[in-house]
Structure 1
Amino acid sequence: MGSTQGNELRKITKNPKNRFYGGYESTAFRVAAAISQKNIGHDALSKVYENLLLSPGKNTQLFLARAANKRAYNKHIKSSIAYNKRRHELVFNDKTAEIKEGTTYQSGVDLNPSATSSASTEEIPDTIVRPTPTVVDKGNHTFIYFELETTGLGTSCDIIQLACVAGEDSFNRYVFPKSPITDGATAVTGLYVASGKMYFHKNKVDSVSVEGCLEDFTQWLKQYSKPLLVCHNGRAFDSINLLKTCQNNSFSLPIEGFVDSLFVFREALPDRKCYKLEALVKDCMSMSFKAHSAHEDVKALQSLVLQCKISCDVLLKHSFSVEYVTSSIDYKSKTDECLGSLQPLSNCLSKYMLRKIAQSGLSYQHLKMAYERGGPEGLENTLSETNSDGILRVAKTRSIFSKIINHFSN
């Protein structure tokens, strides 16, 4: 006899439980027919005909030939590498889903108080996806050249200067920060605070609050049609800092999106090695300017774009929407939160691997839950699962698994 499970399934089709065949003589025949069909195939029917001294008709022979061909085809498919690989993936995904969902779908879960605790039913999240830039649609856009100076080098620093230029029109505000300006930022920008006053290279400047700056900036932007803010390296820094500051102060700017001029000049001047703004201005325009003064930066950037005759189509090609920036802010916030929780693993994993785990949406608590629910296999399944596009969540490296497993086992 072959596999018991398959025979049981065949018995159900020939001897269904919703009909009472147990009290009739046909039960034994039905069970025998089901098991014979599973183990021998439909050829068992021809042997029955032989024992009964009957000759199978034309339709019966045609049916048996088709059934035999189908059986042989299914056997060939099930023995293929692709079939077994897919079967393994489905089993793997089922196990991973059980680990991620906890005790939520266990039988009798409502009767077990420990199984309904928040720790047991909390789900391990799916992989978070890094946002991809979406180009702004074509239209009657106004390109406004824009720059920020901040209290530090990160994307969570306070704005201390915001400047824009659109043709001959310009906007420039110094912003009194709520957090201290780092020595590094002062060395670069020349801005600092002393005795409650703000200075630019030892010259006192008039400053406003961040709320006042955003209010003035909003009113200034309203005079332009579908404004796009053009900034150098804006995708990684300026756009995130600006919109994060707007979120923190409940402001919404009337803009269509941003353009990163760094990518514009990489396309326009592909043979260069350095794309810093001051180097571009020096080489393309044979002039220098006061770099890292936001107002001087935007005037230089506008002149550079005009000098290089960058078309509107090229600028739009390297644009990105406001929605992309807000999604990037959320993604970075989740990543930073997960990365902070993973510090207990810093003694056994590299900074690169910790960030990779965090970027997949996994925190220390999620790894701990995976280990408690499924042991080493549960942890491996969680780290090595793939998304709908076949992209690996974290890693399949045994050495990585063993380091994390040893941490939790100890």
Structure 2
Amino acid sequence: MSISVTGLTNEGGVLFHNGKPIRAINREAAFQSFVLWLSQYKLVILIGYNAKLFDSKRLILNIKNFTCFAEFKSIVKGFVDSLPLFKKKFPGFPNYKQTTVYENVCGGQFDAHKAIGDVSALNCIIKNQTLVRKNSFLHSFSIESRMGQQKFDKETKRNEKTLEPVINEKLLTKSMARRVAKSGLVLEDLYHRLDSSNVDSDGSSRLGLPRILHDNKLDDIPT
């Protein structure tokens, strides 16, 4: 699917675009060049479509492994997600794909599967809409908050993995298991918090899940 969309393939360590070999560099060199380019602008806010869930997450996951990450953090002060900005500014649009917004704001079309076209389109939208720029900080977030969210997501996934036995036994739905995992609980915690009165006639214990969920106030956990 991704090949049909981007036209990119890798054969024998050589990158091809639509069958033609193209010049490529390794990730570390790419990030170093990126940071060097950013440094000319000093304090930077990076704006991206759906940046909170996609671009910022993948950028930080990769660049943090290299020495240039320290300089990146000193230059980039945060991110802005343009998707909620579009929804606020254009409430009557049929959808909020960047292609749709661009067509209505700037006119014409662009190749959404090429980075340069994507960035140029977003730049056109931002430049043409003062309100978007004025409200951008309402949808901004820092590198630290993004990293904190990634740590939380990783811990939640690990917690959720421990709950598979009770999910498989249909004692807990997948959606409820995720809420339990987000609360910081693992399967061992549930066993420790068994309702002492919840015991079968043969002496075996059953999970007192309703009480555990109530005690941990899972309704207050952000989704």
Provide the TM-score with structure 1 as the length reference. 0.47
Q: Name the residue aligned to 2:184.
A: 361
Q: Name the residue aligned to 1:225.
A: 42
Q: How does 1:368-387 map to 2 (within 5 A)?
A: 368-371=191-194, 374=196, 376=198, 380-386=210-216
Note if 1:207 corresponds to 2:32. Answer: no
Q: Name the residue aligned to 1:393.
A: 218
Note if 1:261 corresponds to 2:86. Answer: no
**Count of residues paired in the alignment:** 206
Measured at CA, do residues 290 and 247 of structure 1 come closer, stay the same or move farther in structure 2, by a change above 3 Å? same
Note if 1:243 corresponds to 2:60. Answer: yes
Measured at CA, do residues 359 and 188 of structure 1 come closer, stay the same or move farther in structure 2, by a change above 3 Å? farther
Shift of 1:380: 4.8
CA distance in 1, matches of 2:60, 2:23: 24
User: How big is each residue's C-alpha offset from its partner over 1:222-259, in whole Å with a ceiling of 9 and x where there is no partner?
Assistant: 11131000000001111111111123335231200001
User: How big is each residue's C-alpha offset from its partner over 1:61-86, in whole Å with a ceiling of 9 and x where there is no partner?
Assistant: xxxxxxxxxxxxxxxxxxxxxxxxxx
Q: How does 1:59-138 map to 2 (within 5 A)?
A: none
CA contact (8 A) 1:370 1:379 kept: no
Shift of 1:317: 2.4
Note if 1:320 corresponds to 2:145. Answer: no
Measured at CA, do residues 355 and 188 of structure 1 come closer, stay the same or move farther in structure 2, by a change above 3 Å? farther
CA contact (8 A) 2:86 2:132 kept: no
Note if 1:342 corresponds to 2:163. Answer: yes
**Residue identity matched to 2:215:** E
Shift of 1:365: 2.3
User: How big is each residue's C-alpha offset from its partner over 1:76-115, in whole Å with a ceiling of 9 and x where there is no partner?
Assistant: xxxxxxxxxxxxxxxxxxxxxxxxxxxxxxxxxxxxxxxx
Q: Name the residue aligned to 2:121.
A: 300
CA contact (8 A) 2:7 2:17 kept: yes
CA distance in 2, matches of 1:362, 1:276: 37
Secondary structure of the residue aligned to 1:230 is strand
Measured at CA, do residues 206 and 379 of structure 1 come closer, stay the same or move farther in structure 2, by a change above 3 Å? same
Measured at CA, do residues 196 and 273 of structure 1 come closer, stay the same or move farther in structure 2, by a change above 3 Å? same
CA contact (8 A) 2:89 2:132 kept: no
Shift of 1:394: 5.9
Q: Name the residue aligned to 2:10.
A: 193
User: How big is each residue's C-alpha offset from its partner over 1:93-152, in whole Å with a ceiling of 9 and x where there is no partner?
Assistant: xxxxxxxxxxxxxxxxxxxxxxxxxxxxxxxxxxxxxxxxxxxxxxxxxxxxxxxxxxxx
Secondary structure of the residue aligned to 2:46 is strand
CA distance in 1, matches of 2:208, 2:175: 23
Shift of 1:304: 1.6
Measured at CA, do residues 234 and 326 of structure 1 come closer, stay the same or move farther in structure 2, by a change above 3 Å? same
CA distance in 1, matches of 2:156, 2:137: 29
Q: Name the residue aligned to 1:100.
A: none
**Residue identity matched to 2:133:** C
Secondary structure of the residue aligned to 1:339 is helix
**Residue identity matched to 1:247:** K
Larger radius of gyration: 1
CA distance in 1, matches of 2:209, 2:131: 51
The runs of at least 4 aligned residues of structure 1 exceeding 6 Å deviation read none
CA distance in 2, matches of 1:225, 1:393: 43
CA contact (8 A) 2:56 2:79 kept: yes
RMSD after superposition: 2.3
CA contact (8 A) 1:360 1:394 kept: no
Secondary structure of the residue aligned to 2:113 is coil
**Residue identity matched to 1:267:** K
CA distance in 1, matches of 2:92, 2:132: 19
CA distance in 2, matches of 1:333, 1:393: 19
5+ long unaligned stretches in structure 2: 199-206
Q: How does 1:37-76 map to 2 (within 5 A)?
A: none
CA distance in 2, matches of 1:243, 1:357: 27
Secondary structure of the residue aligned to 1:279 is helix
